[in-house]
Chains A and B, each alone.
Chain A
Amino acid sequence: MTAGQLLAAGQSTSAGASVAFWVLAVISVSAGLGMVLARRAVYCAVLLAVVMLSLAILYAVAGAPFLAFVQIIVYTGAVLMLFLFVLMIVGVASKDSMRETIAGQRLAAGVAGIALLVLLGLIVGHAAIGPAAPAGTGYGANNVRGLAILVFTKYVFPFEVTAALLITAALGAMVLAHRERTTPKPTQRELAHQRVAGGRPSPLPGPGVYARHNAVDFPALLPDGSPSELSVSPIIAAREQEMRAGGAVPLPPGGDAANGAASGPEDAGRGPEGAGRGPEGAGRGPGGAGSEPEEVRP
């Protein structure tokens, strides 16, 4: 990062800064476009990470090394990890359907985007942004010191308000994520009864046991040599099915299986929305985490 500081502190038209800018501009714009166009939410998250990292380096080039580090730590480290956590809960296999629910929405959005680009481009073009002023005292090695002086003197009131905002946000997230338990927590005795009554008292077989490969996506072999469908996780089975069909098999929106496995037995039988949805939702019995679909693999 010292290179970025030196570049920014020196003459702003130096060759290194321009090379860095053009390379990072191309990377960030193409990653942003890919984020809008990618169908899977995980790809969007990874491409957003690319955009944020290249923006962090651009901050360093523009003489803001502190912001570059905050960008990497806060955005790429915290915010994006939060996104990925929620993505794993909501269902990593979830895809956007490409069916337009509002007729002509995509075309209208494209036209609006071009119009916005023209408008902002005209504004920026008319603004007559000149060359950068010679770097002041807050640039270069004194960046953090200058920012600290500003934050704790001129901007001390917004800084204090930020504390209230963060506490409110944390409380709000806790309230929103809280789920009231409507049924009593099942005791160990009830769970045992449920398990014996469910028809399969033993644990499910592990994948790949004594099969040709010891891999999670390979079904275990039964004593008679036939593969055991129960041994493969329903998420992997659904993904393989989808890959075999060339992406034509629609997944249930939001990946029921991921949530069913994560949310425990008190979630089972909560309503009709989980059952009969797709290949994974159909076989989900009253066990929630314990029961596996019967007919996942064809």
Chain B
Amino acid sequence: MSPSHFVALAVILFVIGAVGVLVRRNALVIFMCVELMLNAVNLAFVAFARLHANLDGQVIAFFVMVVAAAEVVVGLAIIMAMFRARRSASVDDANLLKY
């Protein structure tokens, strides 16, 4: 099982997440797709760490997880505030800057 297989899987998952961010309109689902992209990048880090047989990639993946956890906390709080103000979690309804 060479690391290139892992990197290919990471690429596919990253693209799926990116398309999800572009297509979906529920803010929560968009956040889940962002999480999928972060996970795909983590998988690539782990694969490259295995490729070079050192642990730096794993440490970076660990830091990515920490940052992702912080990002989810703040992002979900923003979604909650948005939902409270507009009674909707759809990104189409948050268009106040348009006018």
Contact = CB atoms under 8 A, between A and B. Distances in A.
Chains A and B belong together in one complex? yes
Contacts, number: 258
A274 interface: yes
Interface string B1-16: 1111111110111111
Contact of A253 (B31, B55, B71, B93): B93
Given A64-B58, A166-B70, A179-B84, A116 B18 contact: yes
A70 B23 contact: no
Contacts of B47: 62
Given A64-B46, A110-B19, A124 B39 contact: no
A253 B89 contact: yes
Contacts of A130: 2, 51
A97 B93 CA distance: 12
Contact of B33 (A35, A62, A74): A35
Interface stretch (A12-20, A205-213, A220-228): A12-20
Contact of A79 (B4, B6, B46, B68): B68
A132 B23 contact: no
A273 to B, nearest CB: 5
A87 B79 CA distance: 10
Interface string B31-56: 11101100100110011011111111
A138 B54 contact: yes
Interface size class of A (residues with CB under 8 A): 35 or more
Nearest to A95: B26
A44 interface: yes
Interface in A79-131: 79, 82-83, 86-87, 89-91, 94, 96-97, 101, 105-106, 108-110, 112-113, 116-117, 120-121, 124, 127, 129-131
Which of A70, A134, A254 has the most B CB atoms < 10 Å from its CB? A254
Given A35-B36, A165-B70, A86 B52 contact: no
- Listed from nearest, the 8 A-B pairs whose CB atoms lie closest are A169-B70, A109-B22, A176-B77, A113-B19, A133-B53, A36-B20, A138-B55, A129-B4
Interface of B: 1-9, 11-20, 22-26, 28-29, 31-33, 35-36, 39, 42-43, 46-47, 49-56, 58-59, 61-63, 65-74, 76-81, 83-84, 86-90, 92-93
